[in-house]
Amino acid sequence: MFAFSSRAKRSSVPAVRTPLGELQGNPGSVSAGFASADPTKAGDDFAVIMLRPDGRIASWNWAAERVFGLDTAHALGQSFACLYPREAVDAGLPEHDLAAALELGTTVVHEVPRRRSDGTIFRATVSLGAVFGADDSHLGFVEVVQRSERDASPAQRYADSLAKADLVLRSVHDAIVVQDSSGNVLYANDAMATACGLPDGAAMTRTPLEGFPRLLEVFDEQGKPITPLDITFAYDTGAATVEPVLFHVRVRKTNDSRWWLVRRTSLRDEQGRPQLIIHVGSDVTDTVRAREAASSLADATRLLSASLDYATTLRTLAEALVPRLADWAVVILVEEGTPRQVAVAHPDPTLTARARELWERFPVTAERPLSIANVLRTGRARLFPYVNEETLQSFATNEEHLSLLREFQPHSAIFAPIVVCGRTVGVLAFSAVSPRRAYDDADLDLAVELGRRAGNAIEQARLYRDAQRAVHLRDEFLSIAAHELRTPLAALTLQLQSLKMTVSGDALEHDADRFQGRIDKTLRQSNRLARLVDGLLDVSRIAGGQLDLHRQEVDLRTIVSGVCERFAEDAERAGSELSFSNGGPCMGSWDADRLDQVVSNLVSNAIKYGQGKPVEVYCTADGDNGVVTVSDRGIGIAPENLERIFGRFERAVSERNYGGLGLGLWIAQEIAQAHGGRVEVTSTAGEGAVFRLVVPRSSVSAERRHG
C-alpha cells in the first residue's frame, strides 16, 4: 500500500500489491522519505517513477529503464507523458491522470497501454499517487508501473475476454461491470458507464472505486445512502449468485435518477475467495415508478373517498404523498374567490409547521406566486424537473418569500390543477428536496390524475354539503312555516273565542260595530292563513311543473294600482308612504291573478323591509315589455345575498325576525319566468332595494324570446 500523506484520506484505497516497503514513509517526514527512497533498489517487475508536481520525471529505478527502454539520463526532466501512447497524449490522458491522483490521492488502473521509447506498446497496471509534505504542500507524484502480459491474473484474463466481447456487450441494454476481489473495475460496458455518468466503459475502468461517490449517489430500496463498495461487498452472502437487489442511483452531473435491479455473480477460487465479481443491472425505473404511482393513486383514492369533509381529506392526502412521492406536498384551494392553502405536509413536523407559517405569512393570491397563479388560470399542470433560481422566483410572492424558500431547497417540483367539473379550483403542488428525485413526465401524469381525483372528492363533498344544506333549509323552513301559520291562527282563535263570549253575552255587551270589527279581523286572519297555504301549494305546483297561466288582455296599470290600494293600510301601519305612478296604458296578454301575486309580493317586501321609509311603485310599457318597479329605502340587501334571495326557502335576513315563509320571491320569479319575463333586483345594503318585474306583453314575443 502506498501510504504517502494523501489529501483524500480513506481506508479502502485499493492498490496493487507492491514490495515497496521502504517507501512506506512516515507522513511527518515525507520529503525525507521521498529523497531517501532509492527507487533503483526496487524489485525487477516494478517500474517506480518519481514525478515533479508538473509531471516531469524526477527519478526512477532501473526496472523503469528496462520497462520503458530508456536510460535514466534521457528520462530525467522529461514529461512522464512520453511514457503514454501518442493517442493517449493527444486525448490529454497524462494531465487527466495527474489531476485525478491529486484529487483522489491514489489511482490504480489496469490494463492500460504504455509506450516504450522504441514505440512499442505494452499493457500495464499503473498506480499513481500524489505525495504531500508535512505542511500539506504538494511534493510530486509516485507512479508504479507493472507490465501485465506475463502475469495476468485469471480475473484479468476474464476481464480481457470480456473486453474482447465488448462490441457485443456494448449493445446490451443491461449494465455490466466486472470487478476484481478488491473492487477495482476491470471491465464495464457502455450502459454501465452511462448509468454512472461516464462517457464509456473504458473511462469507467480508469476511474478508481473511491472516485465513484463523486459521480453518483446510491440509495437502497428504503432510501438509505450506500457506497459503491457496499454494492460490491455488503450484499455478499457467500453464494455464487445472490438475490437481485434494488438500488436507486442519481448521477450527480445530470441529476438523472434511476432505479436499478442488480444481480451479482462471483467467481471464486478453490478456497472460496471471490476472484471476480460481476454485476448485471437492469434499469427498472419505469416499473418502480409505475408501481409507486399505482400505489399512490390507490392510497389517494381510498383517502379521498374516506371522508366527505374535503379539507380534512386533502390534508390526509398531502400527508400520504410524503415521503413516497414528495418531500413537500401543498394543497391550495380557491374558496370564495380566494386561493387558500388548505394543507402542507413534510415528513418532519417542525418543518411542516415552519412551512405552514411561511404560507400564512405569504398567502397565495390570484397573481402570486406566478407558478401557482398560472396553473389556476390555465388549468394546465407544470413540471419543473430541476428547480433553478429562475424557477424558484416563480414560486415566491416576493423577495423576502424567495429568500425563505431557498431554505427549503426545492430540487424538483410539480404543480397540478385540481379540477371540478372542468373548472380549476385549486393546485396540488409537490416538490422533492432530496436529489434522489427529479420529476419527469410520468410523475406529471400521476400528479394530474391525483388532481383530478382530488377534484372529484371535493365535488362529492360539495354535493353532500349542498344536500345537507338543503335538508337544513327544509327543517328551518318547516319551523318558520309553523311559526308563520300559528301567528294568524293565534289571532284567529283569540278573536273567535272572544266572539263566542260576546255572543253568549255573559261577559260583554252586544255592540253591532264592534261585532262587525271583530268579524272583519277574523276574516283577515283566515285570509292570511289562506295566502300562506296558497304559497305552499304554489311551491308544490311549480316544483311539479303545473303552473298554468290563464292569459287575457289586461292593463298592467290596473293590476298594480289594485295592489297598491290593497297595501295602503299595511304601508300606513308601517309608517311608509306608498306612492304609485305610471307611464300610461300598458296592455298585455298576462295571467292577471298571477301578476297581482308577484306585485303584491314585491310591495309587501318593500313595506316589510322598508324601515318606515317611502315606497315607490311605477308601472310602464317599455317596448315589448311591461315593467313594474318597486323601490324602497330600507335595510337593502348585501351583495352576497342578491342571488340567494330568489332561492326557495331563502331569505336574506338570516334570523327569522321578519315574518313570511321565504317563498315569495321564489314564487314571484317562477311566475315571471312562466310569462317569459323575470324579476331583477339592484340594492345597496342599508340604502334600500329596487325590484323590477319585466314581462313580455304578448305571449308570442315571450315565446320568441324563450323558445
Partner 1 sequence: MVDVLVVDDDFDLRDTLQEILKDFGYEVAVAGDGREALAWMRSHELPRLVLLDWMMPVCDGASFRAAQLADARLASVPVVLLTADIRLEEKTKALDANAYVKKPVELDTLIDTIRRHSRDS
Task: Say if CB 373 and CB 365 are below 8 A apart.
Answer: yes
- Closest C-alpha to 426, from 370, 362, 359, 376: 376
- Closest C-alpha to 159, from 95, 204, 104: 204
Tell me whether residue 263 or residue 524 sits nearer to partner 1 (CB atom): 524
How many CA atoms does the CB half-sphere of 372 hold within 13 Å?
29
Distance between CA atoms of 131 and 118, rounded to whole angstroms? 30
Residue 234 has what DSSP assignment?
I
Tell me whether residue 41 or residue 472 sits nearer to partner 1 (CB atom): 472
Tell me whether residue 239 or residue 490 sits nearer to partner 1 (CB atom): 490
Least distance in Å: CB of 499 to partner 1?
Answer: 10
Least distance in Å: CB of 517 to partner 1?
Answer: 8
Least distance in Å: CB of 508 to partner 1?
Answer: 6
Tell me whether residue 457 or residue 578 sits nearer to partner 1 (CB atom): 578
Own/partner pairs, 149-156, CB within 8 angstroms, 24+ separation: 149/122, 149/123, 151/45, 153/180, 153/275, 154/267, 154/275, 154/276, 155/180, 155/181, 155/186, 155/267, 155/275, 155/276, 156/110, 156/111, 156/180, 156/186
Distance between CA atoms of 491 and 673, rounded to whole angstroms? 36
- Closest C-alpha to 635, from 607, 610, 660, 653: 610
Task: Say if CB 301 and CB 212 are below 8 A apart.
Answer: no
Distance between CA atoms of 472 and 478, rounded to whole angstroms? 10
Tell me whether residue 614 or residue 659 sits nearer to partner 1 (CB atom): 659
Least distance in Å: CB of 563 to partner 1?
Answer: 19
Helix 285-304 to helix 310-321 angle (10° resolution) is 160
Least distance in Å: CB of 536 to partner 1?
Answer: 16
Tell me whether residue 74 or residue 486 sits nearer to partner 1 (CB atom): 486
Residues that bind partner 1 (CB under 8 A): 479, 482-483, 486-495, 497-498, 501, 507-508, 518, 521, 524-525, 528, 573, 653, 655-659
Q: Is 616 exposed, middle or buried (0-12, 13-18, 19+ CB in 10 A)?
A: middle
Least distance in Å: CB of 520 to partner 1?
Answer: 11
Residue 4 has what DSSP assignment?
S
Least distance in Å: CB of 667 to partner 1?
Answer: 21
- In the chain the first and final C-alpha atoms are separated, in Å, by 97
Q: How far is CA 654 from CA 106, 468, 471, 472, in A?
A: 83, 17, 16, 13
**621 Cα distance to chain centroid:** 57
Least distance in Å: CB of 659 to partner 1?
Answer: 7
Place of cell 331563502: 650
Tell me whether residue 63 or residue 652 sits nearer to partner 1 (CB atom): 652
Least distance in Å: CB of 644 to partner 1?
Answer: 19
Least distance in Å: CB of 483 to partner 1?
Answer: 4
Least distance in Å: CB of 672 to partner 1?
Answer: 27
Q: Concatenated DSSP letters for 524-574?
A: HHHHHHHHHHHHHHHHHHHHTT------EEEEHHHHHHHHHHHHHHHHHHH
Residue 82 has what DSSP assignment?
G
Tell me whether residue 268 or residue 524 sits nearer to partner 1 (CB atom): 524
Tell me whether residue 282 or residue 502 sits nearer to partner 1 (CB atom): 502
Place of cell 332561492: 647
Least distance in Å: CB of 304 to partner 1?
Answer: 39
Least distance in Å: CB of 527 to partner 1?
Answer: 10
Tell me whether residue 440 or residue 570 sits nearer to partner 1 (CB atom): 570
Tell me whether residue 359 or residue 477 sits nearer to partner 1 (CB atom): 477
Q: Concatenated DSSP letters for 435-493?
A: TT----HHHHHHHHHHHHHHHHHHHHHHHHHHHHHHHHHHHHHHHHHHHHHHHHHHHHH
Tell me whether residue 203 or residue 653 sits nearer to partner 1 (CB atom): 653
Tell me whether residue 345 or residue 615 sits nearer to partner 1 (CB atom): 615
Categorise residue 17: left if φ over 0, alpha if ψ from -120 to 50, beta otherwise.
Answer: beta
